[in-house]
A and B are shown apart, each in its own frame.
Chain A
Amino acid sequence: MARTLAMFTDVSLCIGCRACQVACKQWNELPAEEPEWTGTYQNHAHFTDKSYRLVRFIEKKDDKGQMQWHLMSDVCKHCAQAGCLEACPTGAIYRTQYGTVNINQDICNGCRYCVSACPFGVVAFNEDTGRASKCTFCNDRIHNGLGPACAKACPTESIQFGFRDELAAKAQKRVAKLHEMGYRNAQLYGEDPKGPLGGLNAFFLLLDRPTVYGLPEKPKLPQSNVFLDSLLSIGSAIVLGIGAVVAFRERGGQGNN
């Protein structure tokens, strides 16, 4: 396996220009969609099969009652333990040698299990093709040394792309600096490979708690339930089987024949 590639999004640098969103649409030839009124400048409300990049505009009052504007360019996290990849019954979702997670459109049969298995609501179903789709980190570009279109387009380097270990070191320095500057709530999200989901290959520097950005505090791999749920099902089957045996074994029952 090649060295893991990753994306580091520093929300403290994001100006909400949405160049990343446009670049993503252009490179991936994703058609335009009807805009939605979400109450802020954010468009759309969620990732769609035609929007793999999404700048979130979050309005929040701080302790003094002053309005704060949180901007965050969100994307598929390419989780080290990916719910979509584990859920996929066909093997269409696979991990590349760079550690990214892709959906092979030649294999996907449109069962949509991955859509409900993503802890971040990233994967979307494309009604036109009948297949699931999501960000690939611009698979064609990164295999040719170009880096994803969004990172290339970002004018403030809020989105950076590179080797994971190098970016993680950079991110740690940056968060320490922000703490010095008085941003007490600044924190890294998904940078720790020992953290939830084995770390995210698209990790973030946030200026507030993850829930402010709509991110789960501790995302969980949905498949971590499979073992316990199966065990309980087996227990239930055994109890029910015994019950049925008793009912059919009893002498006579009613109306002896």
Chain B
Amino acid sequence: MEPGLLKSADWPFLIDLYFFLGGIAGGAFVIATIANMLDSQKHRDVVRVGYYLALLAIIPAPIFLIIDLGVPSRFLHMMTVAKPDAAIGANVISIGPFHLKLLSPMNVGAWALLGFSGCAFLAALSVFLEDSKKTGSLSGLRMVVGIIGGVFGFFIAAYPGVLLGATARPLFVNAHWLGAMFVAVGLATGGAAIALIMSSMGVRARDARSRLMKVTAFALIIELVTLILFVVAASGVGSAGISRALSVLISGQYSVGFWLGIVVVGLLAPLALQFGGAIRKANPGMVALVSVLVLLGGFLTKWVIIGAGQVVLS
């Protein structure tokens, strides 16, 4: 791609924030579902915090997206228009006024956001009803909602990466690992957010904190691997335009955010602390510190990569 001609969508901070919150929501939901499936009694706190957090994190998401639109009142056009045209692309499923465009990650993402929000609401509701003893056990319902919502949750975390990969932006056009990386960021930040809340729960939550630190550490390792693969894939193409776009990220305008923010604060520092005792001892202060670093790093990952990808090269 010749970078000189290309334009950028110039998505603002709000979109980075949405991608970040979507990752937390998806990651927290998946962790809650896994904890619920393996031992819903023992991991009760993780399930409760995870499902509540998923709902809370996803509530502002559509608001950010709608505010960012040029014509916010038309947000429903993402999924439905009164009279859809027949020729709106390849691999389109149209049912009445609704359209699903399989090659448009933004369109599929809007549907997934709807599905995920429904699951997050039902899962949180089931926890609330059980806790308040208004009903008997809802574990059957929660299992079904958890599995469907877990798939959506991974999707919500991943699709922004696929969405960016399906643009002509030089930084993203040949870098196939963004979606895979964003899943890892989502699981890491989701786990860190649960762990941060549980660091206020004292000794009772020590086992849960330790397990959450393990999940987070594993996700950070996957994130590190996919980040390296992303940079290698982008730099291996040999196009001058792509090399210049990559240099904006690793040695130019965004390099401080990349090396200090993503690599040191978001990956190396929390990993060092985790293997230095946060997993083993799981004491609240250390877990809280690791969690804050992971959350900060998770946000910076989205902000820096999207920002660098949108820089228009002359």
Contact of B222 among A81, A120, A129, A236 (CB under 8 A): A236
| From A107, A123, A223, A228, contact of B7 by CB (8 A) | A123
Given contacts A94-B87, A115-B7, A232-B180, contact A87 B2 (CB under 8 A): no
Q: How many residues of A contact B (CB 8 A)?
A: 74
Task: Provide the B175-216 mask, 1 if CB < 8 A to any CB of A, else 0.
Answer: 011111111100100010000000000011011101110110
A235 to B229, CA, bound (A): 14
Q: How many residues of chain B are within 8 Å of chain A by beta carbon?
A: 88
Q: List, in ascending order, chain A residues with CB within 8 A of B219's CB.
A: 240, 243
Does B114 touch A at the CB level, under 8 Å? no
Q: Which residue of B lies closest to A247 (CB)?
A: B214
Assembly CA distance A127 to B70 (angstroms) = 8
Cα distance A109–B84 in the bound complex, in angstroms: 14
Of A119, A123, A215, most B-chain CB atoms within 10 Å: A119
Do A108 and B71 touch across chains, with their CB atoms under 8 A apart?
A: yes
0/1 string, A121-150, CB within 8 A of B gives 1: 101111101111000000000000000000
Within 8 A of B (CB), among A81-127: 81, 83, 85-96, 104, 107-113, 115-121, 123-127
Interchain CB contact under 8 A, A236 and B184: yes
B281, A254: Cβ atoms under 8 Å? Answer: yes
A230: B residues at CB distance < 8 A: 158, 162, 179
CB pair A113 B103 closer than 8 Å: no
Chain B residues with Cβ under 8 A from A125's Cβ?
9-10, 70
Flag if B168 contacts A229 (CB, 8 Å).
no
Chain A nearest CB: distance from B94 CB in Å?
8
**Smallest distance from the beta carbon of A96 to chain B beta carbons, Å?**
8
In the complex, whether A256 has a CB less than 8 A from a CB of chain B is yes
**Known contacts A85-B88, A223-B166, A243-B219; is-contact A113 B106 (Cβ 8 Å):** yes
Given contacts A125-B70, A130-B70, A228-B176, 19 further A-B contacts (CB under 8 A): A87-B167, A109-B69, A110-B70, A113-B163, A115-B8, A116-B9, A121-B168, A123-B7, A127-B70, A220-B1, A226-B162, A230-B179, A232-B179, A232-B180, A237-B183, A244-B34, A244-B191, A253-B210, A255-B203
* 18 pairs from A and B in contact (CB 8 Å cutoff): A88-B104, A90-B77, A92-B77, A111-B68, A111-B70, A113-B9, A115-B10, A116-B8, A117-B168, A121-B168, A129-B71, A220-B168, A229-B165, A236-B184, A237-B154, A240-B183, A245-B38, A247-B211
Residues of A within 8 A of B (CB): 46-47, 81, 83, 85-96, 104, 107-113, 115-121, 123-127, 129-132, 211, 214-216, 219-220, 222-223, 225-226, 228-230, 232-233, 235-237, 239-241, 243-245, 247-250, 252-257
User: Top 7 nearest A-B pairs by Cβ distance?
Assistant: A110-B70, A130-B70, A233-B179, A255-B206, A236-B180, A109-B74, A89-B107
